[in-house]
Amino acid sequence: MGPREPNTALEALIEEAGVSRAGLAAHVNRAGRARGLGLRYEHTAVARWLKGQRPRGQVPDLICEVLGNRLRRAVSLDDIGMAGPDAGHPPAQGSSLTGFVERATAVWRCDAQQRPHVVAAPSVTGTGAVMPVWEWENPPEDADVSRTGPTGVGAADLATLRAARDHYELMYRRAGGIATRARVVGFLNAGAAPLLRGGYSDATGRQLHRATGALVAVAGICAYDSDAHGLAQRYFHQALRLAKASGDRALGGYVIALLVNQSLFLAEFRQSVAFAEAALRAAGREITPALAADLHAMQAKAYARLGDRSSALACIGRAESEAARIRPGREPDETGYVQPGLVDVQVAEALLSLGDLPAAREHAVAAVRTPAHDRGRVHRLAMLTTVDLRRGEADRAAATAVEMADRARGMESQRLRDRLRAVRADLAASGSADAERAAERVEGALRVPL
């Protein structure tokens, strides 16, 4: 059994109730005596609950009773993160959507407060990584997501959420995830959380969950770009649950594409292939050409890293076929990242892994020649530099690397820094005087503090 997951839902309710750990333990002991139980809990027991331990017997019900009395509302086992036999595993998607909202918003608060157990949490593997995808793909669906709340949610609120998603995604592309993450998480806490707890019909609720899910996905991208992989994974899983509640299969497919990308980075190549297949299968006709092209291209990279040449080439063919079908203006905002040239740079990476250097360079050059936002431009230049170095063309690689370094300066992105370090090392090892000078230029860009 893997490590337990911190019970952020319980922590959030304790904080909201304004009770200390010792105070909660004393209240639980008192409530237990009313039921004829001789309990002697102290603050250390509450600390164990917050780390993911589920107390035995009637104690979880007593915790709900105590917190419910203080908050003057019903509190369920789902709300305190103890709906299952082991609080170390997240409750299934079929559990209360209200409980999910409380757990999700607790993570947002903990991220905003830089709580180490959330910010530095490791990514989960095995069942913990696969189950959210399986639950998104399979029944049960949410029959009704309406909610009674203190304030009504209207069209203007939904428009605000959508505008925020666009704003923070653009900020991420220009400045990187490290600079953007605190801002998007702050908006989730101040802007999205109150709306999720508001009042809305089923139809409005589905739009609300979709808009929030798309925004949470951006928070996950920023966490991934900040090297907080466990936190990024939790945000992606939250976005997937919100996508399911919205009924929008295409949004779910987009979120899974983000999980595929993270799995590739973490070298979980078979998982990358399986996740991409799940997205393509479950999204079905709702999937757009841009998203399908990206999923096939990422599958090609995974197969190439696994040494499966025939499967990689087949996926490259599908990616290029889908990319040719992309029509501007017919894609949702979320797939705007699949800009012209993106599939080329993905294919170049797959071909590089397969050792087909001439074809890899052809695609890398095509990617560089196609306009892209600043962040994408840096990645494309890095790929072309790497291909040319692998081909033994160090002087040509050096010229490309200089432009890459100049464009990367000032971007607060851990992923870009990783890419620049790798290119710098390759340049320095090439033995070319021009490449060594380019390596120094890259080193100068890396000295800019994050």
The pLDDT tens digits of the residues spanning 12-59 come to 888 878 889 999 999 999 999 998 999 999 999 999 999 889 998 999
Neighbours of 447 (CB within 10 A): 8
Query: What is the residue whose two structure tokens read 């100068």?
Result: 444
Amino acid letter for position 215: L
- Residue 79's pLDDT band (boundaries 50, 70, 90)? confident
Residue 85 has pLDDT above 60, yes or no: no
pLDDT score recorded for residue 84: 61
Residue 87 has pLDDT above 50, yes or no: no
Amino acid letter for position 48: R
Lowest mean pLDDT among 45-59, 110-124, 195-209: 110-124
Domain ranges for the chain, please list them: 8-89, 96-247, 373-450
Share of the chain above pLDDT 90, in %: 75
> What is the pLDDT averaged over residues 82-104?
63
Give the model confidence (pLDDT) of 244-278 as tens digits. 999 999 999 999 999 999 999 999 999 999 999 99
> What is the pLDDT averaged over residues 123-138?
92
* Paired residues of 147 in beta bridges: 200
pLDDT averaged over the chain? 92
What is the CB-side half-sphere exposure of residue 448 using CA atoms within 13 A?
17
CA 176, 120, 51, 131 torsion-angle sign: positive
- Residue 94's pLDDT band (boundaries 50, 70, 90)? very low
Region of residue 36 (phi > 0: left; psi between -120 and 50: alpha; otherwise: beta):
left
Q: Tell me how long the chain is.
A: 450
- Residue 450's pLDDT band (boundaries 50, 70, 90)? low
DSSP state of 199: B
pLDDT score recorded for residue 75: 84
pTM: 0.85
Q: Whose CA is closest to 204, among 165, 246, 254, 166?
A: 246
Give the model confidence (pLDDT) of 168-186 as tens digits. 999 999 899 999 999 999 9
pLDDT score recorded for residue 117: 78
CA–CA distance, 435 with 418 (Å, rounded to integer): 18
SS3 115: coil
pLDDT score recorded for residue 2: 43
CA–CA distance, 371 with 155 (Å, rounded to integer): 35
